[in-house]
Copies of this chain bind each other. A is one copy, B any other.
């Protein structure tokens, strides 16, 4: 590997590094891998040095994804932890659950920092993981991982070696509920999260329930009361509320490619107006680059965030039922996965929080 001296780069904190940060994607040929590639190839502070895959070894990444033609010289390779550790500073692991925890400990031992997009390190309490997923094979590392939701855990992320990048549904749900729970505005019993996801959330491996004709013109709920994102949502809502929270979480599949709309109903503990709540949200998220609070009367739409790292939030008090409806929209591949992973990297290395993430939504 040629070692190049890059020109001195200046970031807002002063002179930073003698060369660009070297970054690898492990598990590059799913949709979160593709989205990472889209974001990292254009990122001004880093260099994408490797992309690993089991299926497309030795093929140029731009041959697997013709959309990347002329944009990258990276060639897919099989995962060698040793080689990847040698050539990269930071590793994004976009592997299936279980596989992730098999490789990450070694990367950490090799002194690398890791942003993991799987669920393997998202639970501080390993027993919760084991109840909803499987036996955990690296529990001691799980304790050190930081949950990578930058709007909530900003400071911890900066210093982390291992980021557990949040699930797509939890991102939309936690960001929508955080201000209400933090300020104890709602009853913690009776929260209903009805979430609707685009199909890219189901991944890129062919399965009968994701083929076009099974999804197109259909609407369905799935894994009702059983979805593995439930405990992840509850853990962080409980931290915010400082009490144990249970939610009814009902995920749906909708015929769009990208986007999650989370429609959340919660009983209000006090009388409050939509305007007052909107103000509270604005204060809570003041200065947060990727949160947009809608004015009263306007509500989010997944189309308005597509391809961007935004989480849009709108809400409405319903005096008839003494509840509040909060709605958040994210792009599940960007803020719900790879964009948030890049945002975490930016914090970890002192880059601008939106470095390589300044995309306007692509609409229509």
A261 touches B252 (CB 8 A): yes
Evaluate whether A206 and B204 lie within 8 angstroms (CB atoms) in the complex, with A220-B301, A246-B320, A362-B307 already known.
no
User: Does A137 count as interface, using CB distance less than 8 angstroms?
Assistant: no
A250 near B211 with CB under 8 A, answer no
Which B residue's beta carbon lies closest to that of A190? B190
> A192 CB to closest chain B CB, in angstroms?
5
Task: Name which of A79-87, A95-103, A140-148, A193-201 contacts chain B.
Answer: A193-201
Q: Are A217 and B306 in contact (CB under 8 A)?
A: yes
- Residue contact B200 to A261, C-beta cutoff 8 Å: no
B69 near A312: Cβ-Cβ < 8 Å? yes
Q: Once the chains are docked, how many angstroms separate the CA of A348 from the CA of B138?
A: 59
**Cβ of A280 under 8 Å from chain B:** no
Nearest chain B CB to A222's CB is how many angstroms away?
A: 7
A302 at the interface (CB under 8 A from B): yes
Q: Which residues of B contact A222 (CB under 8 A)?
A: 299
Q: Hey, which chain B residues are within 8 Å of A10, CB to CB?
A: 12
**A47 close to chain B: CB less than 8 A:** no
| 5 A-B pairs with C-beta separation under 8 A | A67-B304, A205-B208, A212-B215, A217-B257, A220-B302
Given A199-B213, A214-B364, the answer on whether A250 and B221 have CB atoms closer than 8 Å is no
Protomer copies: 4
By the criterion of a CB under 8 Å from any partner CB, how many residues of chain A are at the interface?
85
* Interface: A68 (CB within 8 A): yes
- Confirm or deny: A337 has a beta carbon within 8 angstroms of a beta carbon on chain B: no
Interface string of A315-338 (1 = CB under 8 A from B): 011101101010101000000000
Contact B256 A221 (CB under 8 A): no
- Smallest Cβ-Cβ distance to A360: which chain B residue: B38
Q: Which 10 residue pairs of A and B lie closest in terms of their CB atoms, listed nearest first?
A: A218-B303, A206-B206, A213-B364, A194-B194, A225-B318, A220-B301, A219-B261, A67-B361, A67-B304, A199-B212
User: A189: nearest residue on chain B (CB-CB)?
Assistant: B321
Supposing A263-B252, A321-B248 touch, asked if A364 and B257 sit within 8 A by C-beta, the answer is yes
- A305 near B: Cβ within 8 Å? yes
* Complex partner residue of A363 from B67, B261, B265, B305, CB under 8 angstroms: B67
Hey, what's the 0/1 contact readout for A38-70 against B, CB within 8 Å counting as 1? 100110000000000000000000000111111
Contact assessment for B216 and A210 in the assembled complex, using a CB-CB cutoff below 8 Å: no
Cβ-defined contact, A364 with B303, below 8 A = no
A267 contacts the other chain (Cβ, under 8 Å)?
Answer: yes
**With A70-B292, A248-B323, A303-B67 given, is the CB distance from A261 to B42 under 8 Å?**
no
